[in-house]
């Protein structure tokens, strides 16, 4: 089943090996992940292997790990087999997926487009059918983005509910361990293995909030995606559960401190929803500061060779100060409280995962920077709230993958996984009909 050559593997793997689950006794029931194969991003420690963090200089200056990340051990204990480590963006500091040292994994859905990062190889390995599921990490969007670009499921759990021990930190206030799969059943099975939460009985959603202004990012495509979701909710749960919000206006009204950031945010990051640009700005201020605290000593001592884009972001992080941190932390706390009130126990927020299809390979810096800023405005909603989010593939439109994201409150991870598993087939069929009809 496994491809042999680098080309056949889509450039997804940086290192191949086999970690087998412990044999189970014949009298024990089957394990939940028995027979499944997975890969892990090269940010997870595996006993006896160097954790490369996407950069040859990091790999050269670090010893092999002496322990295996608890998340990997849990999957092995559940019966799955690990077949290697995957390529990632350097130091997890990109959502693009291009790595100048190890090559850019090929996006199976759109080979002329980027695969998304920083968990690029993990998403590609799943999309190409090389593994059944894979592990990644998501700080600013590093699972959700490549999941969307590669047409697979990508789950970012609530912050803190999956262990990040023996995972190289990027920015701890936002770091999460997420995963990819091609179907909702496998996505849910992995969640039941990894989530450190009490199991929830199946419950019905209490409302669906459609983020009108966010779908405008995508123009006509955004209208089609929101229509697919709305039509399904009406038929399944009833129109009374559907509400519409302009998230930018809602944030400005309910989180007054966000107004203080509007003039601070560079214009490119604020367009076209200033409040979401402010949210993204605050996230990146905290992220830069924490990244600096984690890695400044190594960066200054080693002076690693970093690729374009990564190098500039790392330099910005090293030059950052804690001047705005207090305000950013306050915005984060107030935003989470307001978002918890908005969704309640079992409300669902529906937004685009990203502001459009995956960008072309080797895109010019200005265009890519604008797209990145818009993307982070959407991605910051889960990051700043700590809520769980799943990127759901909706097939292909004009030869490019399409997705939508659902968010639920902090700790409602099982609810979100069960909801997607229950409705996905119907939504997928409706999406296919719309793409085929050209409506």
Question: Is the backbone of residue 398 left (phi > 0), alpha (psi -120 to 50) or beta?
Answer: left
User: What angle (nearest 5°) sits at the alpha carbon of residue 117, between those of residues 354 and 91?
Assistant: 135
Helix (H) or strand (E) holding 145: helix 144-150
Measure the CA–CA gap between 122 and 208, rounded to whole angstroms: 30
Phi and psi angles of residue 95, each rounded to the nearest 5 degrees, phi first: -115, 15
Measure the CA–CA gap between 201 and 192, rounded to whole angstroms: 13
Which tokens in the block code for residue 153? 């499921």
Catalytic residue among 94, 119, 122, 142: 142
Classified as helix, coil or strand, 103 is coil
Positive or negative, the CA dihedral 49, 170, 382, 205 is positive
Which tokens in the block code for residue 44? 């997870």
Catalytic residue among 94, 118, 119, 385: 118
Catalytic residue among 41, 85, 189, 292: 41
Q: Is 41 a catalytic residue?
A: yes
Which tokens in the block code for residue 281? 């700005």
Residue 230's Cβ-count burial label (10 Å; 0-12, 13-18, 19+) is middle
Do residues 408 and 387 lie in contact, with contact meaning Cβ atoms separated by under 8 Å? yes
**For the chain, first and last CA: distance in Å?**
38
Q: Is 189 a catalytic residue?
A: no
Do residues 348 and 207 lie in contact, with contact meaning Cβ atoms separated by under 8 Å? yes
181: β partners = 133, 153
Q: How many CB atoms lie within 10 A of CB 177?
A: 27
Q: Is 377 a catalytic residue?
A: no
Catalytic residues: 41, 118, 142
């Amino acid at each position: 089943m496994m491809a042999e050559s680098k080309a056949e593997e889509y450039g997804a793997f940086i290192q191949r090996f086999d970690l087998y689950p412990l044999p189970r006794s014949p009298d024990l029931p089957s394990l939940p992940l028995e027979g499944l194969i997975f890969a892990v991003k090269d940010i997870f420690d595996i006993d006896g292997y160097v954790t490369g963090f996407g950069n040859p200089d990091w790999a050269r200056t670090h010893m092999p790990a002496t322990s295996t990340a608890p998340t990997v051990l849990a999957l092995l204990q559940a019966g799955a087999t690990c077949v290697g480590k995957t390529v990632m963006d350097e130091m997890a500091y990109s959502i693009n997926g291009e790595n100048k040292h190890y090559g850019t994994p090929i996006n199976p859905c759109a080979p002329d487009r980027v695969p998304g990062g920083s968990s690029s190889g993990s998403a590609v390995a799943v999309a190409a059918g090389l593994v059944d599921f894979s592990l990644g990490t998501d700080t600013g969007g590093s699972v959700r983005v490549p999941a969307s670009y590669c047409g697979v499921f990508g789950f970012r759990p609530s912050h803190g509910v999956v262990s990040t021990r023996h995972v190289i930190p990027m920015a701890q206030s936002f770091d999460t361990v997420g995963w990819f799969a091609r179907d909702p059943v496998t996505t849910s099975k992995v969640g039941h293995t990894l989530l450190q939460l009490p199991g929830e009985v199946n419950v019905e959603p209490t409302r669906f909030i459609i983020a009108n202004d966010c779908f405008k990012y995508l123009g006509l495509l955004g209208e089609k995606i929101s229509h697919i979701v709305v039509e399904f909710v009406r038929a399944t749960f009833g129109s009374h559960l559907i509400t519409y919000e302009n998230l930018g206006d809602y944030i400005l009204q309910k989180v007054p401190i966000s107004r203080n950031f509007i003039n601070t945010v560079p214009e490119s990051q604020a367009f076209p929803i200033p409040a979401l640009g402010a949210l993204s700005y605050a996230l990146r201020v905290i992220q830069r500061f924490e990244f600096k605290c984690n890695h400044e000593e190594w960066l200054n001592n080693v002076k690693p060779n970093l690729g374009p884009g990564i190098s500039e972001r790392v330099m910005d992080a090293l030059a950052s100060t804690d001047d705005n941190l207090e305000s950013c932390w306050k915005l984060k706390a107030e935003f989470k409280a307001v978002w918890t009130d908005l969704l309640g126990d079992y409300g669902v927020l529906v937004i685009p995962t990203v502001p459009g299809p995956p960008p072309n390979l080797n895109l010019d810096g200005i265009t890519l920077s604008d797209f990145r800023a818009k993307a982070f405005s959407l991605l910051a909603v889960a990051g700043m709230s700590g809520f769980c989010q799943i990127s759901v593939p909706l097939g292909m439109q004009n030869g490019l993958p399409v997705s939508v994201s659902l968010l639920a409150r902090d700790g409602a991870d099982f609810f979100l996984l069960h909801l997607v598993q229950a409705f996905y087939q119907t939504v997928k069929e409706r999406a296919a009909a719309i793409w085929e009809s050209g409506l």
